[in-house]
Structure 1
Amino acid sequence: MYSSSLNDPDHVMNVLTHEILTVALLFLLAFFIRKMVVIVPGQTAYVIEFLGKPQRVLSSGMHICMPFLTRIAHKVSLSQEQREVTSEVKTKDDVFISLRWVLLYAVQNSDESIMNYAYKVEEPTKRLIFKAENEIRQLSSEMTLDEMYSKRDGIGNRVMGDQAAEAKEYGVQIVGVTIEQPKPPAAIQEAMNGKLAAKARKDAAAMEAEATRIRIVGEAKADAESKKLQGEGIANERKAIAEGFREAAELLRSGMGDLSEKDVVAMMLAINQTDMVVNAARTGRTSTIFVPTDMSQMTLGQTLSTLQASEAAN
């Protein structure tokens, strides 16, 4: 029986057909299951349409969808993205420069925001860049080239603040707008470098002049202070000498009776003159001393005359 069935062509054909259909059904089942299962990567969202109508948003993970009736209409990245743009702008002082700026943005992670990003505006990223670039050009036209260097952070903050509300309407959050250093033409750059160099030389000269002025004023103050102290020393010295003269005069009056002021002064001058010569000789700092030839006689005579006058009075 079995050998006869193998020799039967119709039976063999039926077996082959059954096996082929089984394999085909298994293949179709695997294909159908594959179409049903949707795996969404991390930091990504899929927008599903059912018969051409937006149905739902799939977050990261595995999901089951109806094949053939539904399709993945949009794949939206939820990661922060960066767009670098170079714009030609004109400043207030009519200088055309290349301005490079960076836009940081991300799609908000909510079903409503993702739907708005997918359907509310066509190519929302391009729209955001276009509007931001227009505002940067407008703000640049209100600033000079020097202000562009010093206020570029303010430009970025202004653009970010002005465009944030509209961007949020189509599901985008602006993370930041960074304005890089302006790049003027080579001739303008060379002129600016020359200006900075001249300013640096001017500042250096001013600082050097100020240092010289301070040094001269300091020296003048020191000299004035020195002369003041020297004058005070001389004044104190003369005061001490006068005090010594007064005490000596009082001693002479008390010891020699009623001497006149003239006699006291004459005697003290004679004694001081003698002391001066003796001190000059003792110091050894002078090699020659000029002394009047009658100095000893004058001093002795004046002293004796004074004493005799004092005794006569007593």
Structure 2
Amino acid sequence: MDVLIVIAIVAVVVIVVLAVLAALIFGGLRSSIFFTVRTQENVIVERFGKFKKVAKPGLNTKVPFVETTTRPISLRVQQLEVNIETKTKDNVFVTVPVAVQYVVGEQNVVDAYYRLANPEEQIRSYVFDTVRSALSTLTLDSAFESKDDIASSVEQRLSESMATYGFRIVNTLVQDISPDQRVRDSMNSINAAQRDRVAAQALAEADKIKRVTQAEAEAESKRLQGEGVAAQRKAIAIGIAEQYEMLRRAGIENTAEQLLLMTQYFDTMQDVARNGRSNVLFLPSNPGTIGDMTAEIRNSLLAAQEVEYARDQSDTDIEADNRQGDHDRRIEAQRRQAEEARYSHQSAAQAAAGHAQGHPQGAARLPQRPDRHPGN
């Protein structure tokens, strides 16, 4: 009986112990011993606040009540948005949103966790300082053109600074440079005015090319038209000459002009009838006046010939008068020369006679020069 009681007591104790162990294992104790780490994350295990190890992804263990774990440290690429308000060289306040993409290296988890208390604020400080330093030396227009250079400067400085703390800068993006709304409106107005000016110049150049091309086309058309008219007139003249020659050989030379004019008349009337838009006639409207027109043409030709003959005769008479006047002037000059010679001879003879008679002064009176006669 006593043995049974002892066995029962032992069994109850064992059951209680097993229940307590089960409760500890499958309850809070299990969570104190075992823990899991997700992919692309690391967890630091500390023993009494001192670094013990880095737990990798998967199932890990720790000593309960002795070791503790830190928050998970992500190994994925993270992005930090930083909005910076600063002033450019030409005193324009702008807002620059910068996106910094960074990652913690797997071998640098300990430095990334222990060396920086707040890594995001540290990155913000570097971005603020770098962007403000860069924009202070650039005007607004230069800042828009140098956006990629600013991003490269920020990335270079962050990479050098944050590498010490276990962070690797993947990329730095300057998303925009946003000035005040009024400044943007002014810039848009300036750009619109410049584009309008370029458009006006392009339109003017196009209109110039159009006008020059049209003028060249008109000049070429007129040149070709003139050549065509000249060729037509030449062909007509050749045709009329051939027809006149044919009529002359046919023995109707006296009436050839009337026949040709009659033929041209009927051709013209036929063209007027064919082209209804013609409303001007350069020839009489009935055949009966062809003879009158022929007579007028013949009279005009004869009058022109008479005028030409009279002009030639007048020129001939003028030339004859000129030649006669030249002959008279030559005769007059010869007469004057003869009188001069005679006067000189008489003067010399009288002077010699005076000396011979004892007149030291020569002749008392000399004959008068021919050019001093009253008639001259």
Query: Same fold by TM (over 0.5)?
Result: yes
Q: Which residue number corresponds to residue 176 of structure 1?
A: 171
**For 1:90 and 1:279, how far apart are their aligned partners in 2?**
91
Superposition pairs of residues 56-71 of structure 1, within 5 angstroms:
56-71=53-68
Q: Which residue number corresponds to residue 138 of structure 1?
A: 133
SS of equivalent to 1:283: helix
Cα RMSD over matched residues? 4.0
Q: Is the deviation greater in 224-233 or in 174-183?
A: 174-183
**For 1:268 and 1:53, how far apart are their aligned partners in 2?**
138
Q: Which residue number corresponds to residue 317 of structure 2?
A: none
Superposed displacement of residue 117, structure 1? 1.3
Higher RCO (CA-CA < 8 Å; seq separation 6+):
1
Match of 2:94 among 78, 94, 97: 97
Q: 1:147 to 1:58 in 2, by over 3 A?
A: same
Unaligned runs of 5+ in 2: 274-279, 299-376
Asked if residue 75 in structure 1 is aligned to residue 72 in structure 2, the reply is: yes
**For 1:273 and 1:79, how far apart are their aligned partners in 2?**
108
Asked if residue 41 in structure 1 is aligned to residue 2 in structure 2, the reply is: no
SS of equivalent to 2:235: helix
Superposition pairs of residues 215-230 of structure 1, within 5 angstroms:
215-230=210-225
> Are the counterparts in 2 of residues 74 and 118 from structure 1 also a CA contact under 8 Å?
no
Superposed displacement of residue 47, structure 1? 1.6
Q: 1:279 to 1:17 in 2, by over 3 A?
A: closer
> Are the counterparts in 2 of residues 48 and 73 from structure 1 also a CA contact under 8 Å?
yes
SS of equivalent to 2:178: coil
Q: Which residue number corresponds to residue 106 of structure 1?
A: 103
Q: Which residue number corresponds to residue 266 of structure 2?
A: 278
Asked if residue 84 in structure 1 is aligned to residue 81 in structure 2, the reply is: yes
Q: Which residue number corresponds to residue 289 of structure 1?
A: 283
SS of equivalent to 1:203: helix
Superposed displacement of residue 85, structure 1? 1.5
Superposed displacement of residue 32, structure 1? 4.0
SS of equivalent to 1:92: coil
Superposed displacement of residue 295, structure 1? 4.3
Q: Deviations over 1:142-194 (max 9, x none)?
A: 33223333443443244224433443443323233222232222332232233
Q: Which residue number corresponds to residue 235 of structure 1?
A: 230
> Are the counterparts in 1 of residues 42 and 55 from structure 2 also a CA contact under 8 Å?
yes
Q: Which residue number corresponds to residue 113 of structure 2?
A: 118
SS of equivalent to 1:57: strand
| TM-score, normalising length: structure 1 | 0.71
**For 2:88 and 2:160, how far apart are their aligned partners in 1?**
27
Q: 1:238 to 1:294 in 2, by over 3 A?
A: closer
**2:118 corresponds to which letter in structure 1?**
E
**1:215 corresponds to which letter in structure 2?**
K
**2:93 corresponds to which letter in structure 1?**
F
Superposed displacement of residue 272, structure 1? 4.7
Q: Which residue number corresponds to residue 306 of structure 1?
A: none
Q: Is the deviation greater in 98-107 or in 283-292?
A: 283-292
Q: 1:232 to 1:61 in 2, by over 3 A?
A: same
Superposed displacement of residue 63, structure 1? 0.7
SS of equivalent to 2:100: strand
**For 1:299 and 1:48, how far apart are their aligned partners in 2?**
132
> Are the counterparts in 1 of residues 258 and 294 from structure 2 also a CA contact under 8 Å?
no
Q: 1:235 to 1:116 in 2, by over 3 A?
A: farther
**For 2:158 and 2:102, how far apart are their aligned partners in 1?**
11
Match of 1:211 among 206, 210, 214: 206
Q: Which residue number corresponds to residue 202 of structure 1?
A: 197
Superposed displacement of residue 95, structure 1? 0.4
**For 1:246 and 1:53, how far apart are their aligned partners in 2?**
130
Identity %: 27
Q: Is the deviation greater in 283-292 or in 189-198?
A: 283-292
Superposed displacement of residue 269, structure 1? 6.5
> Are the counterparts in 2 of residues 90 and 141 from structure 1 also a CA contact under 8 Å?
yes
SS of equivalent to 2:98: strand
SS of equivalent to 2:52: strand
Q: Which residue number corresponds to residue 327 of structure 2?
A: none
Superposed displacement of residue 228, structure 1? 1.9
Q: 1:91 to 1:270 in 2, by over 3 A?
A: farther
Q: Which residue number corresponds to residue 148 of structure 1?
A: 143
**For 1:297 and 1:206, how far apart are their aligned partners in 2?**
66
**1:276 corresponds to which letter in structure 2?**
Q
Superposed displacement of residue 16, structure 1? 9.5
